[in-house]
Structure 1
Amino acid sequence: MRILLTGIPSYLQRTIGSVSGLTVHHRPYFDELTAKKDFLSQVRKIANTGNYLIGEGAAQSLRGHDVTYVPFWHLANNRFSDEVYEQANREFDLCVFASANLLRPGYSADLEAEVFAKLKMPVVVMGIGIQRKEGLKELLPAGTLKFLDVLRNRESYFLTRGYFTAEFLKEQGMKFVKPTGCPSLYFAPDQMARSLTALANPALADAQKIAFGGYLGSVADTIVDAHALLGPKSVASYVVQDEVIAYNLELPGDDATPVYDRASGRITGETQYKHKEKWQREHELIAFFDTNQWRTWTTSRDMCFGRRFHGCIIGMQAGVPALMIAVDDRMREMLEFIGFPYIEAATWNREADKRTYLANFLSKIDSEAAIDRYQACEANFRNVLGQIGI
């Protein structure tokens, strides 16, 4: 099958130099990332570095087929070009659109509606989910309603992040809707199972090499967690995903200021953010634009911990134990679907003795049941792909 893959990309998008028609030209290198301007540009291109896992998982699921990735921005920029879309409709049998939190009040999918109105082939929307349940039906923007209307009247397949999104889409009249979870979950199934086995270990509450993730620049939660779990002489390693463009983590200096070391992944420049003065531990800020480098670095940690879904999934893909703190509807939907152990943020935040609470929580994890649930979800994902013909 000839598949046009678009939407959220893998990190390999960083090698795209240009696109002509539907021919994508790749450069044999990545852009330089030392200066502030270049660092921020790379983050803005993906919006959140955790998104690279979604694109990578979607692409991996299509192995064995003739797959061409065409950037969505190119399809959108050429939406008035009949020639480009005639070529696409002639050369491809199926379009797979890697998606994430598309269903949310603050985002109007006008461009998606226009693009998919011109693509006449069947469409698979993979990984679609919600941002927030409250008021979704009443507040969904007109562009997103148009996007759903276009696909309602076409041969379309929706693979959702969880049950709530699936029920919502069914209510919207979509015919083929299957909850399958985020495609990033099935990128490395053996390592995911190994991670779940390793998580059921109360001794991890004393781990000192932890990959933290959260919303540094907005709230002090991760700083509090690091102080609660790490000894005074340990270094807190925090992985940045989108904080520099979404949560007021600033990099002072002009555009040419060196701020990043690509070899180590460390942010080397000065940083400014809310609550920074509360740190009582030595700490480092890390950022990755290559998922292989991210996974490799994660293997040097004892565990991943925090409020970022993909910041923990990347560790699980490397076989490292990971525990998530659920902070919003999108995380809860994905975690409840896949059955991974997690702690509610409200519960965790009010615990005075976090290390003891964590040890007790880890001691009660049934890793065998978690693995059984995960493997059932993976089998379901592969089965749904088979139903579609991929």
Structure 2
Amino acid sequence: MKHRPYFENIRTKKDVIDQVKRIANTGNYLIGEGAANSVRGHDVTYIPFWHLANSIHSPETYARLNESFDLCLFASANLLRPGYAAATESHVFELLNMPIVVMGIGIQKKENLKAELPEGTQRFLNVLKKKETFFLTRGHFTADFLKAEGMKYVRPTGCPSLYFDPAQMKRSLGRLADPGLADSQKIAFGGYLGSVPDTIVDAHALLHKDSTASYVIQDEVIVYNMNMVGEETTEAYDQAASRITAPTEYKHAEKWQRKRDYLVFFDTHKWRSWVSGQDFCFGRRFHGSIIGMQSGIPALMIAVDDRMREMLDFVGFPHIEASVWNREPQKKAFLQDFLSKIDVPAAIHRYSECEANFNGALKDIGIR
């Protein structure tokens, strides 16, 4: 079957939650889009994973798939983590008789990973170990882990979303060493509202009292208890503006001293269109900043966990450690100083090397 993307009418509280649940985290849109973009020019068919999972007991379906395709490209994200058992994936790939490319695979948390890795995920790795499998990882730690597990072809390449539009990524990096960005009032914020108040503190530090904080929601409404007030059928979303219109409630919301807009995007092109009108992306979400960079907008990330650190360390993007930023009393002055010291040519050179490495891996596999 061929999948044709279309965009549903999203209006109510239930519509928003259902759409977010389908992708779990809007960063996954960028991962899949980057992987698909990397094989443009080939005869590509997108098959939703749920179709493969629902057809496990249909030998005819898998016979057709094995006859029709030369290679399977599986875009992944935080698959290697204690809280997720990839049992379904192991059953699916056991039935596919073709080379497998696992692109973008990463580790969510390094501590005790080997001891806490679920049995289903261990089975997934054992299945792929017996096949012609190519692992393109988000960074070096994941690559080292997979090599230790006996995987044959493992190459750290970074997240595929990094290479969706290299020219715009370099343009973004080229605009980052500007202390004036700390005074921007059109900032795309991203973080974990509903869990911690960090983004509220950031907005207060950077925005004037009469400015509006623009916060892009990813999975907060299903993971971090951000609630849109009202019944399931309550009108909650302005689809044209991609904005939550219902009142919201969540932990620490009372701390706000700025007006704010909550935006949710279910179309990457629309997300890029909106963010291209901002002056700066600043926050604690990797892909919320990457989509700004894909639009040529300067972006600076606060590294909050192992998955961000692995991706940022690999690609060499300037960033600030959360532990440093959170305890800094003069945040705006600190940010101005940090931006003024960024070595733009070095950052662009490092990114160009990563881009060449990614394209070289694809060439090795025979994709490009």
TM-score by length of 2: 0.99
- Secondary structure in structure 2 of the residue aligned to 1:158: strand
**Conservation of the 8 A alpha-carbon contact between 2:137 and 2:156:** yes
| Aligned residue among 97, 118, 140 for 1:141 | 118
- Secondary structure in structure 2 of the residue aligned to 1:300: coil
The answer for the alignment partner of 2:34 in structure 1 is 57
The answer for the alignment partner of 1:355 in structure 2 is 332
Alignment pair present for 1:315 and 2:288? no
Alignment pair present for 1:101 and 2:78? yes
- Identify unmatched segments of 5+ residues in structure 1: 1-22
**Conservation of the 8 A alpha-carbon contact between 2:3 and 2:46:** no
Alignment pair present for 1:328 and 2:305? yes
Alignment of 1:205-354 (within 5 A): 205-354=182-331
Letter in 1 for 2:180: A
The answer for the alignment partner of 2:4 in structure 1 is 26
Whole-angstrom distance in 2 between the partners of 1:25 and 1:126: 20
The answer for the alignment partner of 1:16 in structure 2 is none
Cα distance per residue 1:150-183 (max 9 Å; x no partner): 0101100000000000000000000000000000
The answer for the alignment partner of 2:131 in structure 1 is 154
Deviation, structure 1 residue 300: 1.1
Letter in 1 for 2:233: A
- Secondary structure in structure 2 of the residue aligned to 1:66: coil
- Secondary structure in structure 2 of the residue aligned to 1:69: coil
- Secondary structure in structure 2 of the residue aligned to 1:83: helix
The answer for the alignment partner of 1:38 in structure 2 is 15
The answer for the alignment partner of 1:87 in structure 2 is 64
- Secondary structure in structure 2 of the residue aligned to 1:26: coil
Whole-angstrom distance in 1 between the partners of 2:319 and 2:56: 42
Letter in 2 for 1:24: K
Whole-angstrom distance in 2 between the partners of 1:266 and 1:252: 15
Q: Which of structure 1's runs of 4+ aligned residues deviate more than 4 A?
A: none
The answer for the alignment partner of 2:95 in structure 1 is 118
Letter in 1 for 2:71: L
Deviation, structure 1 residue 333: 0.1
TM-score by length of 1: 0.93
Whole-angstrom distance in 2 between the partners of 1:83 and 1:228: 60
The answer for the alignment partner of 1:15 in structure 2 is none
What root-mean-square deviation, in Å, do the aligned CA atoms of Structure 1 and Structure 2 show?
0.7
Deviation, structure 1 residue 254: 1.2
Whole-angstrom distance in 2 between the partners of 1:69 and 1:240: 27
- Secondary structure in structure 1 of the residue aligned to 2:199: helix
| Aligned residue among 71, 80, 87 for 2:48 | 71
Whole-angstrom distance in 2 between the partners of 1:261 and 1:118: 43
Whole-angstrom distance in 1 between the partners of 2:257 and 2:284: 20
Deviation, structure 1 residue 239: 0.3
Counterparts in 2 of 1:302 and 1:25: CA distance versus 1, 3 Å = closer
Cα distance per residue 1:190-218 (max 9 Å; x no partner): 00000001011111111111000000011
Alignment pair present for 1:192 and 2:165? no
Letter in 2 for 1:285: Y
Whole-angstrom distance in 2 between the partners of 1:389 and 1:201: 41
Percent identity over the alignment? 66
- Secondary structure in structure 1 of the residue aligned to 2:45: strand
- Identify unmatched segments of 5+ residues in structure 2: none
Whole-angstrom distance in 1 between the partners of 2:279 and 2:41: 35
**Conservation of the 8 A alpha-carbon contact between 2:3 and 2:47:** no
Whole-angstrom distance in 1 between the partners of 2:267 and 2:178: 30
Deviation, structure 1 residue 24: 2.6
Deviation, structure 1 residue 25: 5.3
Alignment of 1:167-182 (within 5 A): 167-182=144-159
Letter in 2 for 1:174: M
Whole-angstrom distance in 2 between the partners of 1:223 and 1:176: 43
The answer for the alignment partner of 1:5 in structure 2 is none
Aligned residue pairs: how many?
367
Letter in 2 for 1:71: P
Whole-angstrom distance in 2 between the partners of 1:172 and 1:223: 42
Whole-angstrom distance in 1 between the partners of 2:323 and 2:147: 31
Counterparts in 2 of 1:90 and 1:338: CA distance versus 1, 3 Å = same
Whole-angstrom distance in 2 between the partners of 1:205 and 1:122: 48
Deviation, structure 1 residue 251: 1.1
**Conservation of the 8 A alpha-carbon contact between 2:81 and 2:107:** yes
- Secondary structure in structure 1 of the residue aligned to 2:66: helix
Deviation, structure 1 residue 73: 0.7
